Structure 1
Amino acid sequence: MIKLVALDLDNTLLTNDKKISLTNEKALKAIHEQGIKVVLCTGRPINAIWHYIEQLGLTEATDYTITFNGALVINNTSREVLAQQGLSKADLVPLHEFCAANGFPMDVLNFEQVYPITDLNDSIYQLGGDIKFEPTSFDDLPDQLYAKTVAAADPAILDRLQATLTDELKAKYHIVRSQPHILEFLSLTTDKSVGLKALLNHFDADYSNLMAFGDAENDTGMLKAAEVGVAMANSQPAILELTDYHTDTNENDGVAQFVNKYFAK
């Protein structure tokens, strides 16, 4: 029995102009009112997606969001942290050295703000929601826990970055391409599926109670773990091969189409 529906945002729930359609909104509100948990799963902090949370009415005391691709599970209204993990500054040293040697940008995110690293090439990383960007050199980066590091650049530059990653770096980080222009470096134990497991445990549930929607590499874990993992028609080819459950594109209300049909059973 599905008790929780997890949704990636970009190119999944959101249209290409970064909006939740009224059709998707209506479908998700309907199952939320039936007692099914609706959980947004994103690489962004909660403040950057708060307008989506409000639009869907996910503001009850038991509503949560998976942020930073699983590094932080947070209650939507109280902002109480259910689960948290990340990387230390020391963990980031090899990645910084690699970016410096190869001319790549680097943005480091804690759980509240972004630190564009100024001794590296310029980044194109952006976030909505009035998130603070504090440019700093790597040496001056505070010694604290970080949710993730992002390399944001033209897709061709990131293709080159991925092609030149060393085995050492691949073994040290969970590396995912969340968008064509964004490559993310997470702790080895950080994944949307891990954040969802913590949340499911909180509700005395497990993966057999999970439905998940996604389209990209950073959705792989939750799509494989879910009892019903749904790939969008516009998904990357490798994502489409992960699951037998497919739906229409993000532009054609694929989420609503699948939800309405499945829960009408």
Structure 2
Amino acid sequence: MTIKMIALDLDNTLLDSHKKISVRNERDLRALHEQGIKVVLCTGRPINAIWPLIQQLGLTNDDDCTINFNGGLVVENNSKQVLFRQGMGYENIHRVYDYCKQNHYPLNVLDFESVYEMTDLAESGYSGFIHHIQYHHMPFSQLPHDKEYSKLIICTNVDVVEEAQQNVPQTIKDVFTVTRSQPYVLEFLPPQVDKAVGLQKLLDHYGWDFSNVMSFGDGDNDLGMTKAVDGGNGVAVAMANGVDQVRQAATKVTKSNDEDGVAVFLEDYFATRL
């Protein structure tokens, strides 16, 4: 087994509680990247929203890539060339909208460039969560029908999101992948899309497989990636602050995101390279 790629979730994994990359994490990832190991950010966010983090880690070589929208988009960082994209049409979005309207939940709908906040529903907390992306505010009746959408989001307080996740009707589960990316964010993705799918597409691009990957994750939306890397005999690392399912599926567990858990594991594993 040769590790050629480090795939990293952001929130509550690489980022600390202040949404920052620590000096120690940055130092170690930069050093490994400079030695030729691919460092790939795997996130639910669009690339524009994480561009400052890409620059901070120096992931700006011509062949550096990022996995966005929880696996729905794989893109080269510099050229913005799309290597893989899986979205969904308008036809089933009304199912989630109706669910939110009936239960007084907020809803944001994302294409691959912007966010549409439904103004005829409860107020969403998403605009304070994601930056460097264009927002449109409109009622559901004005949502464009000709767009390819990346995902839908309920973003509000933790108790409401927990309730929303527990009560998602089967008619929605039949046509969406439903996952929790943050305690306060519930996402509805295209069917059969998760980070493992995007990671597989990127590995195909490089001619590698999951045995060449070390992954780091903490949340429900990291479970598919964690299982795929561990099952493919790579090294799947869960954060100490991760949910039970991810920690149980991982190869190893490291310290929390506020204890430089990524760097702690990297320094132990790559002792001769750092």
TM-score by length of 2: 0.94
Match of 1:5 in 2: 6
Query: Structure 2, unaligned stretches of length 5 or more?
Result: none
Comparing 235-244 with 16-25, greater Cα deviation is found at 235-244
What is the CA distance between 1:136 and its match in structure 2?
A: 1.5
Residue 92 of structure 1 is matched in structure 2 by 93
- Following TM superposition, where does structure 1 have runs of at least 4 consecutive aligned residues deviating by more than 2 angstroms? 126-130
Amino acid at match of 2:25: N
RMSD, aligned α-carbons: 1.1
Identity over aligned residues, as a percent?
47
Match of 2:138 in 1: 136
Mapping of residues 149-164 of structure 1, within 5 Å: 149-164=152-167
Give 5+ residue unaligned stretches, structure 1. Answer: none
2: distance between equivalents of 1:36 and 1:23?
17
The alignment partner of 1:123 has SS state of coil
Q: 2:198 aligns to what? A: 195
Q: Could you tell me which amino acid in structure 2 is paired with residue 46 of structure 1? A: I
Instruction: Provide, for residues 3-48 of structure 1, a one-character-per-residue CA deviation record: whole Å limited to 9, x for no partner.
Output: 1110000110011101101100111011111111000011111111
User: Counterparts of 2:103 and 2:254 in 1: how far apart (Å)?
Assistant: 40
The letter of the residue matching 1:19 is: K
Q: Which of 165, 174, 178 is the matching residue for 2:177?
A: 174
TM-score by length of 1: 0.97
Q: Distance in 2 between matches of 1:159 and 1:233?
A: 21
Q: Which amino acid aligns with 1:165?
A: V
Residue 214 of structure 1, aligned match among 210, 214, 217: 217
> SS state of the match for residue 134, structure 1?
strand
**Any conservation in 2 of the 1:50–1:129 contact (CA below 8 Å)?**
no
CA deviation vs aligned residue, 1:189-236 (integer Å, no higher than 9, x gap): 210110011001000001111111000000001111111110001111
Number of residue pairs the alignment of both structures matches: 265
What does 1:31-180 correspond to in 2, within 5 Å? Answer: 31-126=32-127, 127-143=129-145, 144-180=147-183
Is it true that 1:244 corresponds to 2:215 in the alignment?
Answer: no
Is the contact between residue 108 and residue 114 of structure 1 (CA under 8 Å) also seen in structure 2? yes
Q: C-alpha separation between the residues in 2 aligned to 1:109 and 1:174?
A: 15
Q: Is the CA contact (8 Å cut-off) linking 1:95 and 1:169 kept in structure 2?
A: yes
